[in-house]
Amino acid sequence: MNNILLIFFCFFIFKQTLGDEIRTSMIINNCNLCHTDTSDNVKNIPYLKNLEKDYFLSKMYSYKKEKENSVMKRILIPLNELDIIEMADYLYGED
Ligand code: HEC
């Protein structure tokens, strides 16, 4: 009985992580509509993978906090700080 519970529990955790990863990759897909690898030439819209993790995080937090209405501010409305961290881990790896 305990073994069955354990297997179920592992499956649940695995499913959870996998779900988060799919969700994060979907969010990043949306970002990449503007932040393409060719948009690198456009001022201020770099390909996200080419940024530094710390720079990415600080930019995202400042967009989240800023008061003015901007493109990035509006994009970040449905995303919280955990989403931002998950995106950073997805793009630049965990450390
Ligand atoms: C509609 C197009 C569009 C989408 C979609 C978009 N961005 Fe942006 N992004 C911009 C523009 C325009 C700027 C530069 C303007 C500014 O700094 O306010 C920018 C700037 C940034 C910067 C700062 C770049 C730098 O070099 O300073 C980061 C980081 C960023 N976006 C991340 C994201 C993430 C993560 C997503 C997805 C959740 C996303 N963007 C989706 C248009 C977009």
CATH number where 62 lies:
1.10.760.10
Residues with a CB atom less than 6 Å from ligand 1: 27, 30-31, 33-35, 44-46, 48, 56, 59-60, 70-72, 75, 87
Q: What is the pTM of this model?
A: 0.84
Q: How far apart are CA 65 and CA 4, in angstroms?
A: 46
The best mutation among 58, 71, 76, 89 to test binding of ligand 1, ranked by most ligand atoms within 8 Å of the C-beta, falls on: 71
Number of domains in the chain: 1
- In this structure, the residue with its CA closest to atom 40 of ligand 1 is 31
Give pLDDT tens digits for 2-58: 777 777 666 666 666 677 778 899 999 999 999 988 866 677 899 999 999 999 999
Domain that holds residue 85: 25-92
Average pLDDT for residues 50-68, to the nearest whole number?
Answer: 94
Q: Indicate the SS3 state at residue 94.
A: coil
Structure tokens at 14: 């695995």
The answer to whether 64 and 81 have CB atoms below 8 angstroms apart is: yes
